[in-house]
Structure 1
Amino acid sequence: MPSFRTSVATCLAILAITGGVASAALPAGDELPSHRRIDNGPEPEHGVLDVPLHELWRAGGEDQDVFFGNVLQVLPGPDDTVYVLDVQLVQVFVFSQDGEFLRTLGSKGEGPGEVNNVNSMLVWPDGTLGLGQVLPGKLALIDRGGDPVQGIKLVDPDAPDSGFVLLMNGFAGDGFMALAGMRWGMSDTGELSQHMFLRRHDREGKPAATFLRKTSALDATWFVFDELAFDFVWTRFAITSAGEVCFAPERNEYALHFCHPDGRLDRIVRREYRSLQRNAEDLRQAELTCEAIGSQYGRELKGVTVEKTEPDITGLWSAPDGAVWVRTSRGDRERDPGVLTTVDVIDPAGRFIEQRRLKCPGDPRHDAIHFLPGNRVVVVTGAVDAYRRDTHSTTAEGTGADERPLEVVCYGRE
């Protein structure tokens, strides 16, 4: 099952270049008849459900044998295991259902099952693990038994010979993958362009359908990092239990697109939602994040441009019952004491049926949240702060970042 990542943690894909003026994100499907557009009001049909959670196990931290560097992703593995991707250590920690540390998978390098820079992992139903390398975009594959197998190179069909194709994120379905990536291009006049895409690929990596594309241009002579120009569905897509690809194409709109695996747009689900305005501290944090990304390019950063609001949708998760759980900026920020976050539940018919208020320790401003089958929630304490430390996106005055070692804490429903 797909998991969530915070929008800040996803910025670990720091090799992406953006800026300038961006075109709108364009779905690949045709216009839909009106009856396939489903509009929901601001409130759920069945109200708000409190979901108390209790701790099942934890790993990492100051008193544990396992040490984490920078955890980006947590997914269910085969045989009821839990996979934890550490992008700093370039390996996957494997835990049992009860939290016992079993082994690690993957390593840094050029050989089979190895990557030099990693920012995502995929797990197929047969237990095969894919480690996503950013640039050049590829998947290093490891079979269920832990042995490396033939990997997959990411190719953009619009420029099949390009060596500048980046893999940003992906999820594995039954016999296919949904991959989000980008390609850099140079015009005859020297303008650098960035082509972002969400596509379906078959198991061998061959592109099969395009769900969404967006293009932005970079003024290399005056590099300004633009938050909206970079924005794409990096954290806002999932594969549903029915095999559809669901994504939220626009940063400042609560709208979910559901596509068939062949790329045809089936329905658009909307919810009435008021964007959350950023206060002065929010704007400062957004600027720090964008500066951290922009500082990774070999050119002088002239400035950053950030939005006045938080993203409407911050993440999606496909539940085993066919529903889609939607994380929002308001759900993450407008929290009562003891509440981790509040998620919207969209049923398979597109109805906003419920909100679930998840009650356990954690703060989405500093911690990453991942959902697993079996009513489990994994909180990685300090994950956002770890990213900021690694990319030097904090200031001398500090940002309230927690410098304790990362902990992975698994909670279950009471």
Structure 2
Amino acid sequence: MSGKYRRIVVASLCLAALLFSAAATAWAQAKWKGTIVKEGDVTVVKNPKEPIYKTPVLELKEELSLGGPDAQGEAALDQIRQVIADGAGTLYVLDQRASHVKVFDASGKYLRTIGRKGQGPGELEYPMTISLNEKTGELAVQQQTRGIAFFETAGPFIRQLPLQGMLAARGCLDSRGRIFIVDIIWGEESSKYVTKKLDGQGSLLAIIAEAPTPSGPGNVLKAFMPIPYFRVDRADRLIYGYPQTYEVRFHGPAETEIVRKITREYDPVAVTAEEKAELEAGVPPGYPRDFEYPKHHPAYSRFFSSDLGHLFVQTFEKAEDGRVIHDIFDPEGRFIGRMPLKPSGLEIFKGKYYAIEEDEEGYQYVKRYAVTWKVEVPDRETGRG
């Protein structure tokens, strides 16, 4: 083959590859068929069933794994409830059963333990969530009945904030020290979840939302019913959802003011006989076993966000390998893709995906993955694409 002919063949192959790549991209990316409308002061993003991209919008590569049966000594973890990473990649791991927070550096090396089990100063009882304020160097540990314990990130105990009369199912603090909490209010006829905003001293500022609990008349429990969920992201935005419908709402600086809603058309996922049997098998002896079952699961389970503004919504759909399908929305609220993930994703921060995962034997792990986006995303510094 002459040199000239070889160059022609190579050029033709390169051109064909470019044309194939362009065709593949055009096939993978569909025109968004949703709408963005204004309802008063609220921007409502209405999404169709199908996402913009048919192919994966991001890839994950595992970088770090903590916990599991091989973790020994100070590296051992018992019941992982929550994990937070700071800007340097330091990991704060809430161990609910051990009632303390273990701290690891970005390489996974154990550094220290914050708090211990008990009811005295600096001690924790049934901790539920943690919040990290890098500006003040404080770690807040929300407990179910004993309020919030504050520690320096270096370890020393600072103070205890009691939340009188509250049974807190979930709580967190923003960077300004305001508290967001789900309080369970029990009543004779019915009970409810009340999502509240409190000031830094625990006084009520506003009620964000209310939703019923699964309790029914007598000993009947309403299984698989919607449970309210919220997060406060790195930008101090309150993101709230009650999955009776597929709607997630974003609150403005006043928190009671809703500035955006994301909705999506979806096909409800049926509750299976296997799921009912598994639920009933897990009821301890002596506890009520009377359940009222719906035909379908709620619209979704929970969600997490990225520091670039994406929202990942965990559905009740499963892939063939058992992983759970997540719907992915871009910073404008458009449904851009779907991805199977092991529960439970926590956040994407500085190009890293953090999660709590469990293996087939029930061992828990803290996982960190490097994130590679396959679609255009906003610049982390400027916020522009």
TM-score range, shorter chain: 0.7 to 0.9
RMSD of aligned alpha carbons: 2.9
Partner deviation per Cα, 1:211-232 (whole Å, 9 max, x = no partner): 1013459678x31222356x43
Provide the rounded CA distance (Å) in 2 between the counterparts of 1:35 and 1:257. 10
Quote the residue 1:45 is aligned against.
Answer: 52
User: For the structure 1 residues 178 and 346, does the alpha-carbon distance in structure 2 shift closer, same or farther, using more than 3 Å as the test?
Assistant: farther
Quote the residue 1:393 is aligned against.
Answer: none
Quote the residue 1:144 is aligned against.
Answer: 153
User: For the structure 1 residues 218 and 255, does the alpha-carbon distance in structure 2 shift closer, same or farther, using more than 3 Å as the test?
Assistant: closer
User: For the structure 1 residues 240 and 85, does the alpha-carbon distance in structure 2 shift closer, same or farther, using more than 3 Å as the test?
Assistant: closer
The Cα of 1:76 is off from its aligned counterpart by 1.4
3-state secondary structure, aligned to 2:220: strand
Partner deviation per Cα, 1:81-135 (whole Å, 9 max, x = no partner): 1111111111111111111111111111122232221222222243311112112
1:133 aligns with 2:135: no
Provide the rounded CA distance (Å) in 2 between the counterparts of 1:83 and 1:226. 35
Quote the residue 1:75 is aligned against.
Answer: 84
Provide the rounded CA distance (Å) in 2 between the counterparts of 1:203 and 1:334. 43
Quote the residue 1:377 is aligned against.
Answer: 353
3-state secondary structure, aligned to 1:283: helix
The Cα of 1:342 is off from its aligned counterpart by 4.1
Aligned runs of 1:86-125 on 2, under 5 Å? 86-125=95-134
Match for residue 333 of structure 2 among 347, 350, 354: 350
> What amino acid is the match of 1:59?
L
Quote the residue 2:195 is aligned against.
Answer: 198
3-state secondary structure, aligned to 1:80: coil
The Cα of 1:357 is off from its aligned counterpart by 2.8
User: For the structure 1 residues 113 and 217, does the alpha-carbon distance in structure 2 shift closer, same or farther, using more than 3 Å as the test?
Assistant: same
TM superposition score normalised by structure 2? 0.75
Structure 1: state its 5+ residue gaps: 1-30, 156-162, 186-190, 384-400
3-state secondary structure, aligned to 1:284: helix
Provide the rounded CA distance (Å) in 1 between the counterparts of 2:87 and 2:237. 22
Match for residue 247 of structure 2 among 255, 264, 280: 255
Provide the rounded CA distance (Å) in 2 between the counterparts of 1:328 and 1:268. 18
Structure 2: state its 5+ residue gaps: 1-37, 373-385
Residues 148 and 163 in structure 2, CA contact (< 8 A), matched pair in contact too: yes
User: For the structure 1 residues 106 and 35, does the alpha-carbon distance in structure 2 shift closer, same or farther, using more than 3 Å as the test?
Assistant: closer
Match for residue 292 of structure 2 among 305, 309, 331: 305
The Cα of 1:329 is off from its aligned counterpart by 1.6
TM superposition score normalised by structure 1? 0.71
User: For the structure 1 residues 307 and 107, does the alpha-carbon distance in structure 2 shift closer, same or farther, using more than 3 Å as the test?
Assistant: farther
The Cα of 1:341 is off from its aligned counterpart by 4.5
Residues 242 and 322 in structure 1, CA contact (< 8 A), matched pair in contact too: no
1:184 aligns with 2:186: yes
Residues 100 and 124 in structure 2, CA contact (< 8 A), matched pair in contact too: no
Provide the rounded CA distance (Å) in 1 between the counterparts of 2:58 and 2:43. 32
Residues 56 and 98 in structure 1, CA contact (< 8 A), matched pair in contact too: no
Quote the residue 1:284 is aligned against.
Answer: 277
Residues 114 and 156 in structure 2, CA contact (< 8 A), matched pair in contact too: no
Provide the rounded CA distance (Å) in 2 between the counterparts of 1:248 and 1:288. 29
1:237 aligns with 2:230: yes
The Cα of 1:141 is off from its aligned counterpart by 1.1
Provide the rounded CA distance (Å) in 2 between the counterparts of 1:288 and 1:50. 38
